[in-house]
Amino acid sequence: MIYTILKFLILVLPLLIAVAYFTLVERTFGLLQPLADGLKLFVKETILPSNADIK
């Protein structure tokens, strides 16, 4: 159990750190971008035209 969790962390942690680093390098206010994206995800409204074909 502990070995599986440790293996998972060894795999995922460098990816999370790399994403955070690239976000910071790419944008001037890189620290605020993930927060803005998360907020947009919850606030964004799905708009469907009344005559849209929904299946």
Kindly report, residue by residue over 10-46, the tens digit of the pLDDT: 999 999 899 888 877 887 767 787 788 889 989 988 8
Q: What is the pLDDT of residue 3?
A: 93
The pTM for the full model equals 0.48
Name the pLDDT band for 52 (thresholds 50, 70, 90). Answer: confident
Angstrom distance (rounded) from CA 23 to CA 34: 8
What are the φ/ψ torsions at residue 28 (nearest 5 degrees)?
A: -65, -50
Average pLDDT over residues 38-55: 84
Q: What is the pLDDT of residue 5?
A: 93
Q: Where are the alpha helices (DSSP H) in the chain?
A: 2-26, 33-43
What are the φ/ψ torsions at residue 9 (nearest 5 degrees)?
A: -65, -40
